Amino acid sequence: MSVKTVGPAWSPERAGLGPVAAWASAEGSPREALFLGFSAERGSEVDRAVEAVRGLGARTAVIADVPYGVHPPAPGARPRTSRPFPPRVLLLLGDESARLAIGSAGASGGDALWTSVACDGGASHAMLADLADWLEMLPGVVDFPPWAEAHLRELADVVAERHISAPDDTTPGPPGAEARLLHNLHAPLLGRLPEGPVDELHLSAPVVDTDARAVRALVERLAPTRIALALPPPRVGYDPDAFARALAGRDAEIRIVDDAHMPQGRLVQWRTGDTWTVLTGGADLTWAALGESAGSGGTVELAVLAAGDPALMPRDGLRIAQLAGGDRPTEAQSAPAATAVTPPTPTPTAVPDTAPPQAAATLPPRAPAPAIAAQEPTPPTAAAPIPEATAEATAETTTDRAPTPPVPTPSAVAAPPSTPSSTPTAAAATWQEDDFLDDTPEFEGPYADALASLAQSGWSADDQDGIWEVTGSFANPLPVAAQAVDALGPYHEGLLLVRAASKGRWVFLVWNGHDLVMLKHDQPVWRTYRVDAPATPGSRFSGGSVAVPGLVATTPQVKGAPPVLARMLGELGWDYPELIKRLFID
């Protein structure tokens, strides 16, 4: 059983196809393949990769980066509008192996930050669990054809089940060593970042707000002692004085990088002490990408939160102390380019109103299956070999599967005053336009803040005779239940009982502030943990695995309540058979 991670590293889009060429080292043939966000034009590297995995017998879905607004909205539905869909996801699943590559569409087709994970021997990774939740929620925000929506949710179930049933590995790893996926479907990415101060902040992007709104918000939230900011030439249309004001009063260096040396992806990374952390995803350092949720009209973002590296920051460029007009460069390394860096606006590609003929309703488990493509069907061509260079785009680092670091809980984001950005955007996927409407329910009573926090993630919670029942659309209930404990705990006196349930899966937790007892729907074993501050249930189980530090005992369900649970039930005045009846019968 092994887990290998590569990146984040600057690579062209073809690097995301590396897992296809590297599958020869996996165990068995792939059964499922998903190309999400890739455009598989005839004869392209993506097209050859698709043919290669189909040749290996995988059921293959290609859901390209094109407008999906061909289905008329239901009566009374809000208007829909085209926005960018930058995420790129390649997923290969076999019986005992999995390969995942996460990246984005770089502006002007250049390099973006890519991260890949390889799992063998039945192992899993927290990024797979995160991906399952994102795939489950994605069709609720982005408007896909019905066949694509159904396929994404089916894959979400497969990936979640794989992660839940993966062998336990209790070998601890270094804190922060395991990469995690973050998204902005229901809450802005900015709210997932820690609150400062931090020692250093690196920012780089080819596309920025004209008024530095996102940069100003990042500086206010992270409160860095030192800042390095890489920007394209001002001729792309932003206000240099706005960026100078955003960095005012701080030790800051600005690098004006020409388009020949400017990486075409977004870099947000910070240092605390000797530890670097990076947030990847997309190409835009804009308020629409970082300060808005996709559901409220922002760009759809799928980001990787991982260990950073100062070498990711662009080194070339014209270095200046400030960006205000008239300031002299402190170090000239290259001249600004004469051309502006502007994101392309491709011509929208029509999507058939019904599923392509290749999409089969039912497929044999291992037989080669026609591709599910979000494009007009075309005759198959012979699969060309994938260049070996795509298999390893960067140096590899191998880590054993370990307890995952906590993912920051979304927090409120204050929007700096600004006028809407005029940065041009490419037509792509569509979703409900909620720019002027706030669909977040209003809650009253002592649990109002906790319920609002859960609702922001798309979950609801209801106290049903002493047990908080948390429901919503999620693949793995364990991290959801643990996050609900974190949210409700500060407002609850005494024992807290929480059950999170979705799609027939549930996890039940009992928490007294330091002891946690767990039962899962498919495992008749009580697990007792000790969770001492500063750790919380939400941070301890954020990766969705039961194999975390603090496990004290396991007790078969048939043997009755474990000692800690027995004491807890005594405090409530409940008996053990009553609890089992409520969990399995009522």
The band of 408, judged by pLDDT with boundaries at 50, 70 and 90, is: low
* Tokens (6 digits) for 414: 């204050």
Residue 560 Ramachandran class (φ > 0 left, ψ -120 to 50 alpha, else beta): left
Average pLDDT over residues 350-376: 34
**What confidence score (pLDDT) does residue 285 get?**
94
- Smallest CA-to-CA distance from 116 within 33, 9, 35 is with 9
Burial class for 392, CB neighbours closer than 10 Å (0-12, 13-18, 19+): middle
Structure tokens at 201: 């902040």
pLDDT tops 90 at residue 201: yes
Strands (DSSP E) contained in 402-540 are: 430-432, 459-464, 467-472, 496-502, 505-511, 515-520, 523-530
What band does 476 get if pLDDT is binned at 50, 70 and 90?
A: confident
From 58-72, 173-187, 428-442, the region with the lowest mean pLDDT = 428-442
CA gap 300, 428 in Å, rounded: 10
Question: What is the average per-residue pLDDT within 554-559?
Answer: 86
Distance CA(285)–CA(209), nearest Å, equals 7
Cβ atoms 474, 164 nearer than 8 A: no
Task: pLDDT band for 394, please (50, 70, 90 cuts).
Answer: very low
Mean pLDDT, the chain, rounded, equals 75
Instruction: For tokens 């890519």, name the residue.
Output: 114
CB-count burial class (<10 Å; 0-12, 13-18, 19+) for 335: exposed
Confidence label for 19 from pLDDT (cuts 50, 70 and 90): confident
- pLDDT tens, residue by residue, 287-327: 999 999 988 888 899 999 999 999 999 877 666 655 444 34
Measured between alpha carbons, how far apart are the two ends of the chain, in Å? 40
pLDDT digits (tens, 9 = 90+) for 133-157: 999 989 888 888 888 888 999 999 8
The SS3 of residue 576 is helix
Does pLDDT of 226 surpass 90?
yes
C-alpha distances in Å from residue 414, one per residue of 188, 220, 291, 411: 11, 10, 9, 10
Cα dihedral 432, 438, 444, 450, rounded to 10, equals 70
Percent of the chain with pLDDT over 90: 32
- HSE-up of residue 89 (Cα within 13 Å, Cβ side): 25
Most confident region among 74-88, 435-449, 509-523 by mean pLDDT? 509-523
In angstroms, what CA-CA distances link 40 with 21, 407, 425?
17, 33, 21
User: What pLDDT, on the 0 to 100 scale, is given for residue 34?
Assistant: 93
Highest mean pLDDT among 176-185, 231-240, 392-401, 485-494: 485-494
- The three-state secondary structure class of 89 is strand
pLDDT, tens only, 573-586: 898 988 988 888 76
Percent of all residues in the chain with a pLDDT value above 70, rounded to a whole number: 71
**Strand ranges for 164-215 from DSSP E:** 180-183, 198-204, 207-208
| Residue 108 pLDDT grade (very low, low, confident, very high; cuts 50, 70, 90) | low
> What domains appear along the chain, each with residue ranges and CATH number?
2-172 (no CATH), 183-332 (3.30.870), 448-584 (no CATH)
β-strand partners of 5: 117, 397
Q: What is the pLDDT of residues 252-286, one digit of tens each?
A: 999 898 877 888 889 999 999 999 999 998 889 99
Within 8 A by CB and 6+ apart from 432, the residues are 77, 78, 80, 141, 143, 295
Closest listed residue to residue 418, CA positions, set 232, 245, 221, 277 = 245
Instruction: Compute φ and ψ for 217, nearest 5 degrees.
Output: -65, -40
Residue 37 backbone phi and psi in degrees, to 5 = 90, -15
Q: Which range has the worst mean pLDDT, 242-256, 319-333, 458-472? A: 319-333
